[in-house]
């Protein structure tokens, strides 16, 4: 079970809902990152559990999964899905064998953005003061 927390900056009011570090659920793993270009925090997907046998014969699934995995005939995917897309993807009925794809942490806006790993307690991406973590999880995810 992964947990998303609300982080707030007491100085400038910037808020982010992220895990605040490395976290892992049943279907995916994330790492919170600070993007220097966007000046925002994101949960970058670092691992994604996918069916080992290609489920992409079914057109409906193909539409949903191809943008996420971007597989080109067995090549490793170029860029990770966004956290929201990874959470919202369809689970594949009947799939028995899974594998984990791993990704280098990337900004969901552009993989070319420079970023660094962000682990609470850490600094506000806008103004640089330490951010406060809300005690209660904002959201739980698988």
Q: How far apart are CA 73 and CA 85, in angstroms?
A: 22
Question: Residues 43, 86, 124, 141: which binds Zn ion (CB under 5 A)?
Answer: 124
Measure the CA angle with vertex 123, ends 39 and 42; round to 5°. 45
CB of 89 to Zn ion, least distance (A): 22
Per the listing, tokens 């998303």 go with 4
Q: Which of 50, 19, 1 is nearest to 119 (CA)?
A: 19
- Furthest-apart CA atoms within the chain: distance in Å: 52
Binding of Zn ion by 37 (CB under 5 A):
yes
- Choice from 18, 28, 35, 45 touching Zn ion (CB under 5 A): 35
- C-beta closer to Zn ion: residue 27 or 31: 31
Tell me how far the alpha carbon of residue 15 is from its chain's centroid: 17
If binding is defined by CB under 5 A, does position 9 make contact with Zn ion?
yes
Q: Work out which of 3, 17, 38, 132 binds Zn ion, going by CB under 5 A.
A: 38
Residues whose CB is less than 8 angstroms from the CB of residue 62 and which lie 6 or more positions away in sequence, other chains included: 56
Q: Does 109 bind Zn ion (CB under 5 A)?
A: yes
Q: Does 92 interact with Zn ion (rule: CB under 5 A)?
A: no
Sites of contact with Zn ion (CB under 5 A): 9, 11-12, 14, 35, 37-38, 107, 109, 113, 124, 126-127
């Amino acid at each position: 079970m992964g947990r998303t927390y609300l982080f707030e900056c007491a100085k400038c009011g910037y808020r982010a809902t992220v895990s605040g570090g490395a976290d892992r659920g049943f279907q995916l793993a994330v790492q919170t990152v600070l993007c220097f270009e966007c000046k925002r925090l994101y949960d970058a997907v670092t691992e994604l559990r996918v069916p080992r046998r290609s489920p992409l014969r079914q057109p409906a699934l193909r539409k949903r999964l191809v943008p996420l995995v971007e597989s080109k005939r067995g090549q490793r995917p170029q860029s990770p899905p966004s956290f929201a897309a990874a959470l919202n993807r369809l689970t594949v009925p009947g799939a028995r064998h899974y594998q984990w794809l791993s990704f280098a942490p990337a900004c969901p806006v552009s993989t070319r953005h420079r970023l660094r790993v962000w682990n609470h307690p850490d600094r506000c991406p806008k103004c640089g003061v330490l951010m406060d973590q809300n005690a209660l999880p904002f959201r739980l995810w698988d």
